[in-house]
Amino acid sequence: MKVLRIILTITIFLCMGLSGSAQKTILLSKGRVHVGNGKVINQGLVGIKGDKIILVDNALTHNLDKSAWDTIIDLKGLDVYPGFFAPNSKLGLTEIDAVRATRDFNEVGAYNPHVRSLTAFNVESDIIGTVKTNGVFYSQATPEGGVISGSSSVMSLNGWNWEDAVLKKDDGIHLNWPSTVSGGWSTPKKSSEDYSSQLKEIRAFFEAALSYSSSKDLYDPRFEAMRALFNGEKRLYIHADQMRALLDIIDFQRDLKIKYPVIIGGYDSHKVADQLNSSNIPVIIKGGHTLPENEDDPVDFPYRLPFLLKEAGVLFCIQNSGRMETMNSRNIPFLAGTAMAYGLTEEEAITAISLSTAKILGVDKIVGSIEEGKIATLFVNKGTPLDMRTNNLIFGIINGEFVDLSNVQTKLYDKYKKKYEDQK
């Protein structure tokens, strides 16, 4: 294995000199390619030119002309995966949660659709390096707080600044739906007395925004940011969990003519799967490494939710919002691995953090899977990235460029490993 790493490292250094030119071509040969759409090519060929994938085929049937490629990397015995996503994430928007100056995801005020996470995204975050090490190469930089938090953007985790890193600007606006219940583990749950009045306030704001969207004579920065919700250029991400809230959201998006609504959270989404399907509403569910929301729920329910939605035909993907979510973005592949242990196949689990996420975020035409014409973002692994015991990235490519997979943690490990080896 060490010899393999040395050979590939030398090859990659040579390729890094080539990847800056769009005219150079690289062929990844005979690796097991997990396309991201459920298909697997056991001895695959993946050709890259500039930042695009120009060839995906089976090495056993493809008539390969080696002279057509500037560099060929032999990946026999290794696996190739599409870059994974971290949707609904504060990655790049915060560094140390305990230090207010590094938290740039929550603005003052309740209704902030015009606030953009895009320009706050920090490509120099040390946390980003730890996430890339596990194959997470894209994130959805998402604001929090208030009733309407602001606009998220889909970002590549590689670039000199946010202009380099952005994949899709202002992909959607985030609405925090009021909870239908009050109470929790320490106190009995009951229906929220404020739910109806809160919902009435939200509806009034959206009705005003809808009326504004048909006018050209007025200017309001908040309503201007929402104009794209009604013409389909932006998605509306609605953070909600309870069944009553989900049913109300279905009525809400229909009445307000929201073209692309998305549920984030969706704890009870399996209970209203038919309604979600009929309204074409996908769900970004919280990963399974968490406790059930209700005392009488099965303890393994969060682990089984992906399988329940898959069986019901609901389009879903996996995210990891919650306590210490930024640093734990690196665990998204392992959340998919847990879903695999509770019903999903390996390829379905991979799709849940790659192509399905890209579809829900509206970028599946350019990223999310290893297919011809898409941006070359992928990684090569020894073992499966869904299991922390075997996950072992050999190298990664983002937007056609080989990327450094080391981080502050791996550098410290190497530093002190060498120190104590030298003392022997």
Domain match, 243 and 390 both: no
351 and 386 inside one domain: no
Map residue 116 onto helix, strand or coil. Answer: strand
- In a shared domain, residues 130 and 250: yes
**374 falls within a domain:** no
| Arithmetic mean of pLDDT, 387-413 | 91
- Does 231 share its domain with 357? yes
pLDDT band at 420 (very low <50, low <70, confident <90, very high): confident
CATH, residue 161: 3.20.20.140
Q: Are residues 354 and 226 in the same domain?
A: yes
In the numeric block, which tokens belong to residue 14?
């040579």
Q: What was the pLDDT predicted at 96?
A: 64
Domain membership flag for residue 213: yes
pLDDT (average), residues 356-367: 97
Taking the C-alpha atoms of residue 19 and residue 266, their distance in angstroms, rounded to an integer, is 41
Give DSSP secondary structure letters for 212-271: HHT-SS---HHHHHHHHHHHTSSEEEEEE-SHHHHHHHHHHHHHTT-SSEEEEE-TTGGG
Q: Could you identify the residue written with the tokens 């209700």?
A: 294
* Residue 34 sits in the same domain as residue 149: no
**What's the angle, vertex CA 11, arms to CA 34 and CA 384, rounded to 5?**
25
Helix (H) or strand (E) holding 134: none
At residue 389, does pLDDT exceed 70?
Answer: yes
pLDDT score recorded for residue 18: 47
Confidence of residue 328 (pLDDT cuts 50, 70, 90): confident
For the chain, the first-to-last Cα distance in angstroms comes to: 24
For the chain, what is the domain count? 2
Element (H, E) at 10: helix 2-18
Instruction: Give a yes or no: residue 373 inside a domain.
Output: no
Q: Which two tokens stand for residue 158?
A: 């590689």
Whose CA is closest to 36, among 137, 127, 167?
137
pLDDT in tens, 42-94: 999 999 999 999 999 999 998 989 999 999 999 999 999 999 999 999 998 88
DSSP state of 272: G
Q: What is the pLDDT of residues 177-231, one digit of tens each?
A: 998 887 666 666 777 788 999 999 999 999 999 999 888 888 888 999 999 999 8
Compute the residue count for the chain.
Answer: 424
* Same domain, residue pair 77 and 88: no
Whether 317 contacts 352, CB under 8 Å: yes
Crossing angle of helices 332-341 and 301-312, in 10° steps, is 80
Q: What is the pLDDT of residue 103?
A: 63
Per DSSP, the three-state class of 126 is: helix
Rounded Cα distance, 143 and 133, in Å? 24
Domain harbouring 14, CATH code: 2.30.40.10
- Boundaries of domain holding 20: 2-81+379-422
Same domain as 294, residue 152: yes
Same domain (yes/no): 97, 73:
no
pTM of the prediction? 0.90
Name the nearest CA neighbour of 172 among 150, 157, 155: 150
> How far is Cα 31 from Cα 68, in angstroms, rounded to an integer?
19
Separation of alpha carbons 391 and 414, rounded Å: 18
